[in-house]
Chains A and B, each alone.
Chain A
Amino acid sequence: MPDALTSRECRAAPGGLRSAPAVALALVLLTAARLAAAAPPPAPAHAAPPPAATPAKPAGATAAAPSAGDAADTRGLDEQVQGLKKDVVDLNRDLFILEEELLFPANTQVAVFLAVDVGDFFGLDSVQLKIDNKEVINYLYTPREVDALLKGGVQRLYIGNLKVGQHELVAFFNGKGPRDRAYRRGASIKFEKGIGAKYLELKINDRQRKLQPEFEIRDWE
């Protein structure tokens, strides 16, 4: 049995990046188990003693004392729940960062962002991205997303991995152009992928002089 486990581990080792979700899942389970272990045991008030064990007291006294204790217990429990919720949110954030680092290491990472400036001459509908003649994303925009972009938002359209060297990115922008006509334009850039992460920006501008939209791709140095 130990041999079988060892051989499975050996096979899994080369695909380290592919097993990232499994690592993340294991981390979640491990941390959840630790949290559960670290959490104080349930308040003893829940394990109420049997009525027979309580000494005989006047009815008014027995009613008042447990209610005050219950309120304190409830408050304590509520604080514990809030603490746990905060831990879960923190853990989720850490796992998200870990997942990004594992799936897209800085030395191979390529990210493409999209921004829109003004947008009077072009109504964005979709963007198709090709890297080295291979389609990597075809993204459809909803009216809400377009509104967010027009308000100055920048969207991370794509994140992936590329080898070091020369690459070509081609972007096709589909939408409605001047006079509400179907409009499709392309833009391309050849870029050098170095050792660090690469960031590219697609930008849609209005060219006021020609009353036409303008599409450009910039390399964030």
Chain B
Amino acid sequence: MRVLLQCTALALLGAGGVALAQRSYGLIARTAPDFTLHAVAGGNVRLSEHRGEVVVLSFWSSGCGTCRRQLDALNRSLATYRSAGLAVYGVGVDDVPARAAEYARGILVAFPMLLDPDKAVGRAYEVDNLPMTVLIDRSGTIRNVLRDFSAKSDDIYLEQLRVLLNE
């Protein structure tokens, strides 16, 4: 009985934690800050040119272990939903730009890997955890943020993504 209670409490705490993570992000329901960044391969990317698409920004760093798994998961979702109007960008907020570029080249993903060496975009999006994923709807408004990566958060991400793509 005690174990059951503990599990219930943990589950409630977990759910509360997810809700808290969503609530405490100050940019929800605000217009996504515009930016232009260099891509490791291909041309520069400006966010405002992608109005009308659902945009997913994933902030990563070469020193972050779970970022790689998350970028792979985002790549899978892009393969599935690209035709529905999904655009995904990885934004590297590494301290050393050369290391970030090397890391980005080593990851086989179909979306552009952007470099934010002076962390201006990271600051604008209030990145406080890596990996961090920001979901932006077709009108350019930030709708959801996920501050970690796990099987559960991937399910939440896909659920939220489908909602945005259906709008």
Contact = CB atoms under 8 A, between A and B. Distances in A.
Q: How large is the interface on B (under 10, 10 to 19, 20 to 34, 35 or more residues)?
A: under 10
Nearest to A139: B36
Interface in B4-43: 36-38, 42-43
B45 interface: yes
Interface residues of A, number: 10
Interface in A130-147: 139-146
Contacts of A143: 42-44
A125 interface: yes
Which interface residue of A142, A143, A145, A146 has the most chain B CB atoms within 10 A? A142
A165 B37 CA distance: 36
Contacts of A144: 49
Contacts of B42: 143
Which interface residue of A139, A140, A144 has the most chain B CB atoms within 10 A? A140
B69 interface: no
Interface in A4-42: none
B38 A140 contact: yes
A105 to B, nearest CB: 27
Nearest to B45: A142
Which interface residue of B36, B37, B38, B49 has the most chain A CB atoms within 10 A? B36
Interface in A116-163: 125-126, 139-146
A218 B38 CA distance: 29
A125 B42 CA distance: 11
Contacts of B46: 140, 142, 145
B47 to A, nearest CB: 10
Contacts of A126: 44
Contacts of B37: 140
A139 B43 CA distance: 13
A141 B44 CA distance: 6
A140 to B, nearest CB: 4
A140 B115 CA distance: 13
Interface string A93-126: 0000000000000000000000000000000011
A142 B50 CA distance: 12
Contacts of A141: 44
A119 to B, nearest CB: 14
Interface of B: 36-38, 42-46, 49
6 contacts: A140-B38, A142-B36, A142-B45, A142-B46, A142-B49, A146-B43
Interface of A: 125-126, 139-146
Given A141-B44, A142-B36, A146-B43, 11 more contacts: A126-B44, A139-B36, A140-B36, A140-B38, A140-B44, A142-B44, A142-B49, A143-B42, A143-B43, A144-B49, A145-B46
